[in-house]
Amino acid sequence: MLDASISYYRYAFLGCEFLTWVWYSVSSSDINKLLKKGDSLEIGNKIVLERTLHDSFEKITIKGKDADLEEGIISLKKGAVVKEINLLYKSGEKEWFFTVTGETLSLSNIKTPDIGFIETKNAVDGFAIEKIFLYNVVCYLISDLFKIFIKIRVSDKWLSVVSDIRKWINT
């Protein structure tokens, strides 16, 4: 494996491409084929895009529940990449909100389904284990989606995916 400090910067674009692919897959409903039956993934309340052209640098942040993502699409048309995306994952009646950062693949602002309160001292362990389990649900979800993405990314199929994404951006 390459030195981490080199590969971190050299291949940071993979994380941003992954987030663009997730956004496209959510918009085209293709994502549902990749999830467990009945589960769903939606764009949450925030997308951050960045564009660097020559010496200029642009950062576009779209925030708000049910926000119109049109400005984001326009930014993609201009060559911006998705740096950060907030997602809503639904499984049964449970909902997780979380933000994924492309460059690091790190998760933040994770809001898990409610698990009640700690009423006795003995319940602390159970509470912690359940909370960790709920955090892991989104960790494994993103990890599994990234594995699917990277398999496509290193295959010839990527060319047709890029073509589909371009069509989506331009419609």
| Footprint on this chain of another protein (rule: CB under 8 A) | 1-2, 4, 7-8, 10-15, 17-18, 20, 76-79, 101-106, 108, 132, 135-136, 139, 143, 146-147, 150-151, 153-155, 158, 162, 165-166, 169-170
**AA identity, residue 13:** F
Least Å from the CB of residue 18 to another protein: 7
Q: Rank residues 36 and 166 by Cβ distance to another protein and give the closer one.
A: 166
CA 21, CA 7: separation in Å to the nearest integer? Answer: 21
Least Å from the CB of residue 61 to another protein: 17
Beta strand spans in 13-117 (E)? 40-53, 56-63, 81-91, 94-101, 107-111
Least Å from the CB of residue 102 to another protein: 8
Q: Rank residues 56 and 170 by Cβ distance to another protein and give the closer one.
A: 170
Please tell me the total number of residues recorded for the chain in this structure. Answer: 171
CA 118, CA 99: separation in Å to the nearest integer? Answer: 27
| CA-based end-to-end distance of the chain | 40
CA 58, CA 112: separation in Å to the nearest integer? Answer: 32
Least Å from the CB of residue 85 to another protein: 14
Copy the structure tokens of residue 140.
């494994």
Q: Rank residues 14 and 34 by Cβ distance to another protein and give the closer one.
A: 14
Q: Rank residues 8 and 65 by Cβ distance to another protein and give the closer one.
A: 8
Q: Rank residues 90 and 153 by Cβ distance to another protein and give the closer one.
A: 153
- Residue 86: phi, psi to the nearest 5? -100, 135
Distances (CA, A) of 83 to 23, 100, 115, 121: 12, 9, 31, 42
Least Å from the CB of residue 63 to another protein: 19
